[in-house]
Amino acid sequence: MGAPGEDPPPGWVAGAPATGPGPDGAPGSQRAGSASAQAPTELLDLNTATQADLEELPDVGPVTAGRILQWREEHGAFTAVAELLEVSGIGERTLEQLEPLVTVAG
């Protein structure tokens, strides 16, 4: 930042992570350990997700979300994201979209 007593630059927020060129000089890169404004949200755990949580995922509407919950009730916890292929209505294309957004941590 600037010298004590100077006004902060426009858009500066106290406590916000620094943006701009990172150590590699790439525009918009972040310092290691700082959060990016474009960072993906936390992964959704298939074993604890609710109907509403699942409906937030791409290509998952109320029917597919219900089928995921039904699969979970019948088979127990998911042990791998790829098990989504066993859910009626989920194919390879949908799985490819969901894999970076979900986990089976719980």
User: 69 vs 29, which has greater pLDDT?
Assistant: 69
Encode 72-84: b = buried (16+ Cβ within 10 Å), e = exposed: beeeeebeebebb
Note the pTM of the prediction, 2 decimals.
0.62
Domains of the chain (ranges, CATH numbers): 44-103 (1.10.150.320)
User: Could you report the per-residue pLDDT of 52-77, keeping only the tens digit for each?
Assistant: 999 999 999 999 999 999 999 999 99
Q: What angle do CA 75, 81, 86 make, to 5 degrees?
A: 50
